Amino acid sequence: MLGANCRVHSLICFAVPELKVLIPRQQIAERVAAMGAEITRDFSGQSVILVGVLKGAAIFLSDLARHVELDSTFDFIGVSSYGVRPSPAQELKSGWDSTGEVQVTKDVDQSMKGKNVILVEDILDTGLTLTFLKKLFAAHQPKAFRIAALLDKPSRRKLAISADYVGFSIPDEFVVGYGLDYAERYRNLPDICIVPRES
Ligand code: IMP
Ligand code: MG
C-alpha cells in the first residue's frame, strides 16, 4: 500500500512499487526550519559557509539555507567510496558498507581557513563518509566546523561520529526522497519514504 503522500509518484515507482511514507513533507519542513533557527542562534552575528555533500544533501541544503538568517555562502563537495559497489538490490538489503576509503570527486571551490563551516549531509549511516570529511575539513583549519545531518541511523554506526544538528533519528530502514536516492531515483519525492527490503 503506497503512503498517501507518495501516491502521486507511483508512476515512477516501477522498480519499487511499495513506498511507505516515514516522514511527511510537513514534518520535514518544520524540523528543517527549527534546525535553521538553531544554527542562526549559534552563529549569531557571524558568517557561515554551508557546504552540501552532493548529491543527496542538495534539497536539504536549499531548504535549510532559507532558515539560516545569517550572512551565508554555499559550497559543495562530491564524494564516492572505493570498493566494490553493491548492486542496488544489495545496497537496499544491507546498506552500503564501503571499505572506509572515501574519494573526493568534486572539491570545494574555496579555502575554509578561518571560516565557520557547516557541512550539510543527507544521512549519517555508518559514519565512514563524515569521518573522512571531518578530517579533510580539519586540514583547512576552519574557525568552527559543524555537521548538520537531516537523518541519522545510529544503529548502523561503524565509526564513532555524531552530527551537531540532527533532523530525525530513524531506524535501520533504507529511505528515499527529499534528496535521498535508490540507484539515483526518487530524489525528487517530497516525503521521506521507506523502500521495503523484500522488494
Ligand atoms: P555512511 O558513510 O555509511 O555514513 O553513508 C552515508 C551515505 O550513504 C549517505 O550520504 C547516503 O548517500 C548513503 N545512504 C545511507 N543510508 C541511506 C539510505 O537509507 N538511503 C539512501 N542513501 C543512504
Ligand atoms: Mg546515495
Question: What are the pLDDT digits (tens) for 163-178?
Answer: 999 999 999 999 999 9
- Among 77, 96, 195, residue to substitute to test ligand 1 (most atoms within 8 Å of Cβ): 96
For ligand 1, is residue 133 a contact (CB within 6 Å)? Answer: no
For ligand 1, is residue 5 a contact (CB within 6 Å)? Answer: no
Ligand 1 atom closest to the Cα of residue 125 is 4
Q: What is the mean pLDDT of residues 144-151?
A: 98
Whether the CB-CB separation of 67 and 40 falls below 8 Å is answered with yes
pLDDT of residue 128: 94
pLDDT of 72 above 90: yes
pLDDT of 10 above 60: no
DSSP 43: T
- Per-residue pLDDT band for 81 (boundaries 50, 70, 90) equals confident
Q: What is the mean pLDDT of residues 1-18?
A: 47
**What is the set of domains in the chain, with CATH numbers?**
25-83+97-169 (3.40.50.2020)
Question: What are the pLDDT digits (tens) for 110-136?
Answer: 999 999 999 999 999 999 999 999 999
123 CA distance to ligand 1 middle (Å): 6
Ligand 1 atom closest to the Cα of residue 153 is 16
φ and ψ at 127, to 5 degrees? 95, 0
58 CA distance to ligand 1 middle (Å): 14
Question: Residue whose CA is closest, atom 9 of ligand 1?
Answer: 123
Above pLDDT 70, what percent of the chain?
A: 81
43 closest CA partner among 146, 166, 168: 146
pTM (predicted TM-score): 0.89
H-helix segments, the chain: 25-42, 58-65, 88-94, 128-138
pLDDT of 137 above 70: yes
Q: Residue 80: what residue type?
A: S
CA distance 81 to 103: 6
Cell numbers found for residue 147: 555537521
For ligand 1, is residue 152 a contact (CB within 6 Å)? Answer: no
For ligand 1, is residue 79 a contact (CB within 6 Å)? Answer: no
pLDDT of 83 above 70: no
Chain centroid, CA 73 distance in Å: 19
